[in-house]
Amino acid sequence: MNVLIVFDTYYGNTQKVAELIESSLSNVESQLIKVDLITQTLVDQYDLIVFGSPTRGFNMTKKIKKSLKNLDYRSKKFWVFDTRMDVDDVDNKLLLKLVKRFGYAAEKMENILIKQKAIKAMDYTYYYVKESEGPLYETMTQKVKDDLIRLNETILN
């Protein structure tokens, strides 16, 4: 099993999570790339692909969307995550309504990959940033570690 981790980022938070993920993977070959560098040849070399995107305007970034829609992931295993604001931090009723209605990046990334006939290795997850630009909440480091215990179990099985 080898793992390709693909991320996009504006302020570095999603990159930080992606780096933590890569350093927490045990006993597997892995590569970490910014989404700009993804190619079909690279995708074809990996068994599991992890995608991370910031949530922007209730969605994934355009580059992540393009990379999911334009390449072939048939029969590839995947896991996706996003970074997002914590709704408890949002003191704006209209924004809260919109978030409830339009959601976040991760579930939409998952849906595209399922349509692409990729295989979900693990349910999507998310990591909270403070305010709108971060940094990540301190508790997120532990959350990554907990998620990676699950991912490592999935990889081993």
Tokens of 16: 């930080």
Q: Is 4 exposed, middle or buried (0-12, 13-18, 19+ CB in 10 A)?
A: buried
Decide: is 125 part of the binding site for ligand FMN (CB under 6 A).
Answer: no
Decide: is 10 part of the binding site for ligand FMN (CB under 6 A).
Answer: yes
Nearer to ligand FMN, 79 or 128 (CB): 128
Residue from 129, 140, 148, 151 touching ligand FMN (CB under 6 A): that is 129
Decide: is 96 part of the binding site for ligand FMN (CB under 6 A).
Answer: no
User: Site size for ligand FMN, by CB under 6 A?
Assistant: 20
Output the CA torsion sign for 71, 69, 9, 80.
Answer: negative
Nearer to ligand FMN, 85 or 118 (CB): 85
Decide: is 9 part of the binding site for ligand FMN (CB under 6 A).
Answer: yes
Decide: is 14 part of the binding site for ligand FMN (CB under 6 A).
Answer: yes
Q: What is the CA radius of gyration of the chain?
A: 15
SS (H, E, C) 33-83: EEHHHCCHHHHHCCCEEEEEEECECCECCHHHHHHHHHCCCCCCEEEEEEE
Contacts of ligand FMN in 31-90 (CB under 6 A): 54-58, 83-85
Query: Which chain residues interact with ligand FMN by CB under 6 A?
Result: 9-14, 54-58, 83-85, 99, 104, 129, 132-134
